[in-house]
């Protein structure tokens, strides 16, 4: 399962950065590097160390069985440690295996690594300097190969199916939480890897872009679902609005503006453009319609083994888009106390127009 | 649940520690302090607490939610647009909380992300950064009566969900099926969203953190390790089940683990160090000749986090005080065969420890 090719690319980038080794924290960076596996992350030190001479995984004893089973015989040596001993010795051995020496040099550590783990690294490995591992991981993780795009499509299909099941569960009186649970069950049945989220907002709650589903009952009015899962290591993220009853003119107007913004974003999602061009294109539509101040977030975020990763579709992110980059385009308009509309799709940059993963219609779902 | 007495206690500790401010990350530290936390993601988000005042730095997308939850609460909210970045908001927050915009010694949450630490260095140019656990650990470790009541309610939810898991164990069901039944039950009994439900059957149970997969539940032993967060507080429970009639060897191992669990409870008394709980439990297993197969610490503190200080292991000499709460969870794992773990949450009192779960320690025998 572990791909030598990915480890080799990480190693090459690390050398270009003049680093002795890259230390990747359990979680997304390790999931990417090992092609679909990461030990569980908790307060215990857990890192994949990649250097010029090899790769080694530091893992607490409680997770050692799984790590040995999946990694032994491959390019990654596993060093496990007992809780009472702490991870210090294992870290030093791992750095020695990966780079030839146990201390010193410049190390790159995952952006998401915990503060206390960074301190442990500083204390135990006494590096000359510590930088962010994103210098190495960002360019690699941003551009997806064909297999990664396939996995993103499979995760997207699960979100499409789950959206449909969520819509089936809508009736007057059902709570946001019940709709959340129906979609959670759907993601489990469709084989998500455990991580999933199912945002539901009804009525004035839709005006908060990150509203948490609560006991609010659904009656007549605006609704959105913002859902996604991780499947085979790769994520989906999908938002569609719906309306219970007969939508009023302003909802339909706002929906059309957001849809136009979403389409403008996709039009700008072309190889050679900067990421911020996607934001500018979508935002211009909303600003021109007079709702600029109600679009309170960036237009999108990269997606892969993480739900949110570079590039970010916002002013200031001038990453030049390349074929294989995958990100959300999700403009929205939020009218406080009233309602909000967001339409979110995942786009893949190609040599031509962007490929949109969801096969769902972009019109609002209207439920009588 | 919002109470500013917690915030006041954190402020008092900031003053006593002689630091300028503590910066708490979204997640457990903020949940403890405010009874509410914004979601944590790659965007910088900190609760900045000075000796007299506090401010919250939050990305725009979560500002509305923070406004609603913190209405009338003495915390000033500084939100920032994604393209502006957090630096100015961090400075303003520090200014509001401490009267200074840069410098001084600050404490940052142990779980803070590496890249957010760098943002703090860049925006606030502190003279030194240290771990927030210096002040948060003593506060969070000792629970007041209300916190213990919440832990009891959360434990009741785990007891009920264990029953739901046992009910799902039937011919043809897989580990994943039992996992899903428990997940649904946790939702039904009102967990706050985060829950964990591990099940391992047969040889899988020899890996202490086995993740539920498509293994069918046949005849033989299994453990269920489950917990949720309810009203902000966590539960964690492990019990054994056996489909068919347990053999004498299994009964013997189970008996040793139960004896170790009881020995741990005996040692969980005010005045003893945390390591004494580990030693007491481990001694029983070592004496029986299975020391090599008890591959993890005996337990961990529990509260707003599923794992927190103190840790029941060699080297943790935290002196136990009434109100401290932690797991006692010795286990024996026989590779290729099976594992047994019995986990209870103990509350230190003036006398013997209170055990939260009302379940019997005996393996539940499920007829074939």
Please tell me whether residues A162 and A133 are part of one structural domain: no
Per-residue pLDDT of B10-30, as tens digits, reads 999 999 999 999 999 999 999
Instruction: Compute the average pLDDT of residues B156-168.
Output: 96
In the predicted model, is pLDDT for residue B81 greater than 60? yes
Query: What pLDDT was estimated at residue B1?
Result: 46
Range with lowest mean pLDDT among A207-211, A286-290, B282-286 = A207-211
B121–chain A nearest CA distance, Å:
13
Residues B70 and B91: beta-carbon distance below 8 Å: no
In the predicted model, is pLDDT for residue B171 greater than 80? no
Instruction: Compute the average pLDDT of residues B122-126.
Output: 94
Instruction: Report the CATH number that the domain containing residue A351 is assigned in CATH.
Output: 3.90.230.10
Please tell me whether residues B57 and B151 are part of one structural domain: no
In the predicted model, is pLDDT for residue A110 greater than 90? yes
Q: Indicate the residue among B87, B120, B140 that finishes a domain.
A: B140
In the predicted model, is pLDDT for residue B305 greater than 80? yes
Range with lowest mean pLDDT among A279-283, B168-172, B329-333 = B168-172
**Cβ partners under 8 Å of residue A223, min gap 6:** A170, A200, A201, A202, A203, A206, A241, A242, A243, A244
Q: Is B214 on the interface with A (CB under 8 A)?
A: no
In the predicted model, is pLDDT for residue B2 greater than 80? no
A49 three-state secondary structure: strand
Q: Residue B197's domain spans which residues?
A: 145-366
Query: What pLDDT was estimated at residue A368?
Result: 84
Per-residue pLDDT of A131-179, as tens digits, reads 999 999 999 999 999 999 999 999 999 999 999 999 999 999 999 999 9
Kindly report the average pLDDT of chain B as a whole number: 95
Q: Do A61 and B296 touch (CB under 8 A)?
A: yes
Q: Indicate the residue among A94, A118, A142 that finishes a domain.
A: A142
A207–chain B nearest CA distance, Å:
9
Kindly list the residues from chain B whose CB atom is less than 8 angstroms away from the CB atom of residue A316.
83, 85
Q: Is A121 on the interface with B (CB under 8 A)?
A: no
Q: Select from A60, A114, A132 the Cβ nearest to the Cβ of B110.
A: A114
Query: What pLDDT was estimated at residue A103?
Result: 84
In the predicted model, is pLDDT for residue B112 greater than 90? yes
Q: Do A298 and B83 touch (CB under 8 A)?
A: yes
Domain tally, chain B: 2
Mutant choice from B86, B112, B114 vs A, greatest count of A C-beta within 10 A: B114
B114–chain A nearest CA distance, Å:
5
Q: Select from A42, A65, A111 the Cβ nearest to the Cβ of B115.
A: A111
Alpha carbon separation from B285 to A81, A86, B238, B269, B341 (Å, rounded)? 20, 21, 18, 21, 12
Instruction: Compute the average pLDDT of residues B30-41.
Output: 93
Percentage of chain A beyond pLDDT 90 is 91
Q: Do B65 and A119 touch (CB under 8 A)?
A: no
Per-residue pLDDT of A218-239, as tens digits, reads 999 999 999 999 999 999 999 9
For B83-112, letters b (16+ CB in 10 Å) and e give: bebbbebbbbbbbbbbeeeeebebbbbbbb
Please tell me whether residues B74 and B199 are part of one structural domain: no
**Confidence label for A210 from pLDDT (cuts 50, 70 and 90):** confident
Q: Indicate the residue among A125, A142, A159 that finishes a domain.
A: A142
Reported ipTM exceeds the 0.85 cut: yes
d(CA B186, CA B197): 9
Residues B48 and B21: beta-carbon distance below 8 Å: yes
Please tell me whether residues B150 and B251 are part of one structural domain: yes
Alpha carbon separation from B36 to B26, B30, B142, B144, B303 (Å, rounded)? 9, 7, 19, 18, 14
Output the furthest CA–CA distance in chain B (Å, rounded).
Answer: 69
Q: Do A40 and B209 touch (CB under 8 A)?
A: yes
Kindly report the average pLDDT of chain A as a whole number: 95
Please tell me whether residues B124 and B186 are part of one structural domain: no
Instruction: Report the CATH number that the domain containing residue A128 is assigned in CATH.
Output: 3.40.350.10
**Confidence label for A1 from pLDDT (cuts 50, 70 and 90):** low
**Confidence label for B172 from pLDDT (cuts 50, 70 and 90):** confident
- Token pair in block for residue B98: 């401490």
Percentage of chain A beyond pLDDT 70 is 100
- Count CB neighbours of B268 within 10 A: 29
Instruction: Compute the average pLDDT of residues A58-63.
Output: 95
**Confidence label for B3 from pLDDT (cuts 50, 70 and 90):** low
d(CA A319, CA A310): 9
Please tell me whether residues B111 and B226 are part of one structural domain: no
A89–chain B nearest CA distance, Å:
16
Instruction: Report the CATH number that the domain containing residue B26 is assigned in CATH.
Output: 3.40.350.10
Percentage of chain B beyond pLDDT 70 is 99
d(CA A341, CA A321): 27
In the predicted model, is pLDDT for residue B193 greater than 80? no
Query: What pLDDT was estimated at residue A25?
Result: 98
Q: Indicate the residue among A108, A124, A142 that finishes a domain.
A: A142
- Token pair in block for residue A201: 């907002």
Please tell me whether residues A235 and A336 are part of one structural domain: yes
């Amino acid at each position: 399962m572990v791909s030598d090719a990915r480890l080799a690319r990480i190693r090459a980038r690390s050398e270009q950065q003049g680093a002795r080794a890259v230390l990747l924290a359990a979680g997304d960076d390790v999931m990417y590097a090992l092609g679909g596996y990461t030990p569980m992350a908790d307060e215990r030190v857990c890192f994949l160390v990649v250097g010029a001479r090899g790769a080694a995984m530091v893992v607490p004893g409680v997770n050692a069985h799984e790590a040995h089973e999946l990694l032994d015989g491959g390019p990654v040596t596993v060093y496990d440690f007992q809780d009472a001993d702490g991870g210090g010795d294992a870290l030093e051995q791992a750095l020695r295996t990966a780079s030839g020496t146990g201390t010193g040099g410049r190390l790159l550590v995952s952006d998401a690594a915990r503060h206390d783990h960074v301190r442990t690294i500083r204390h135990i490995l006494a590096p000359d300097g510590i930088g962010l591992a994103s210098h190495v991981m960002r360019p690699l993780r941003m551009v997806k190969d064909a297999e990664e795009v396939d996995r993103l499509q499979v995760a997207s299909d699960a979100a499409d199916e789950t959206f449909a099941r969520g819509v089936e569960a809508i009736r007057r009186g059902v709570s946001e939480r019940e709709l959340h649970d129906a979609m959670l069950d759907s993601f489990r049945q469709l084989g998500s890897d455990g991580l999933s989220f199912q945002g539901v907002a009804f009525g004035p709650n839709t005006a908060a872009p990150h509203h948490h589903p609560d006991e609010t009952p659904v009656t007549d009015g605006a609704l959105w679902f913002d859902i996604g899962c991780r499947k085979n290591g790769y994520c989906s993220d999908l938002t569609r609005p719906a309306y219970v009853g007969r939508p009023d003119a302003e909802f339909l107007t706002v929906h059309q503006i957001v849809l136009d913004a979403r389409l403008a974003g996709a039009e700008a999602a072309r190889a050679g453009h900067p990421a911020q061009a996607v934001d500018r294109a979508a935002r211009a539509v909303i600003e021109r319609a007079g709702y600029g101040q109600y679009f309170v977030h960036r237009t999108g975020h990269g997606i892969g083994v993480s739900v949110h990763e570079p590039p970010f579709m916002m002013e200031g992110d001038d990453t030049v888009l390349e074929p294989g980059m995958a990100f959300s385009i999700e403009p929205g308009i939020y009218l406080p106390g009233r309602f909000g509309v967001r339409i979110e799709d995942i786009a893949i940059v190609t040599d031509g127009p962007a490929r949109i993963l969801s096969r769902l219609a972009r019109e609002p779902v209207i439920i009588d | 649940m919002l109470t500013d007495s917690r915030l006041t206690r954190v402020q008092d500790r900031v003053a006593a520690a002689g630091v300028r401010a503590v910066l708490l990350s979204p997640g457990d530290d903020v949940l403890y302090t405010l009874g509410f936390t914004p979601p944590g993601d790659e965007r910088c988000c900190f609760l900045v607490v000075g000796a007299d005042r506090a401010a919250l730095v939050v990305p725009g997308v979560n500002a509305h939610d923070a406004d609603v939850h913190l209405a009338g609460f003495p915390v000033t909210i500084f939100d920032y647009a994604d393209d502006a970045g957090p630096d100015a908001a961090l400075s303003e927050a520090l200014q509001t909380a401490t009267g200074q915009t840069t410098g001084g010694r600050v404490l940052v949450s142990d779980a803070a992300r590496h890249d957010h630490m760098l943002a703090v260095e860049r925006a606030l140019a502190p003279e030194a950064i240290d771990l927030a656990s210096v002040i948060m650990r003593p506060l969070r470790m000792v629970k007041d009566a209300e916190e213990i009541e919440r832990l009891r309610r959360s434990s009741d939810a785990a007891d009920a969900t264990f029953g739901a898991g046992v009910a799902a164990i039937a011919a043809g069901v897989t580990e994943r099926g039992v996992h899903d039944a428990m997940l649904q039950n946790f939702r039904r009994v009102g967990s706050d969203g985060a829950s964990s439900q591990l099940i391992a059957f047969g040889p899988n149970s020899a890996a202490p953190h086995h993740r539920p997969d498509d293994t069918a539940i046949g005849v033989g032993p299994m453990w269920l390790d489950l917990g949720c967060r309810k009203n902000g507080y966590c539960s964690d429970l492990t019990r054994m089940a056996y489909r068919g009639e347990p053999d004498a060897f299994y009964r013997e191992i189970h008996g040793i683990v139960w004896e170790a669990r009881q020995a741990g409870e005996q040692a969980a008394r005010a005045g003893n160090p945390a390591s004494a709980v580990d030693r007491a439990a481990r001694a029983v297993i070592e004496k029986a000749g299975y020391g090599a197969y008890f591959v993890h610490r005996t337990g961990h503190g529990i509260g707003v986090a599923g794992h927190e200080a103190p840790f029941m292991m060699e080297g943790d000499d935290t002196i136990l005080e009434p109100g401290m709460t932690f797991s006692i969870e010795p286990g024996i794992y026989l590779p290729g065969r099976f594992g047994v773990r019995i986990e209870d949450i103990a509350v230190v009192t003036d006398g013997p420890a209170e055990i939260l779960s009302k379940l019997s320690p005996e393996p539940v025998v499920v007829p074939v």
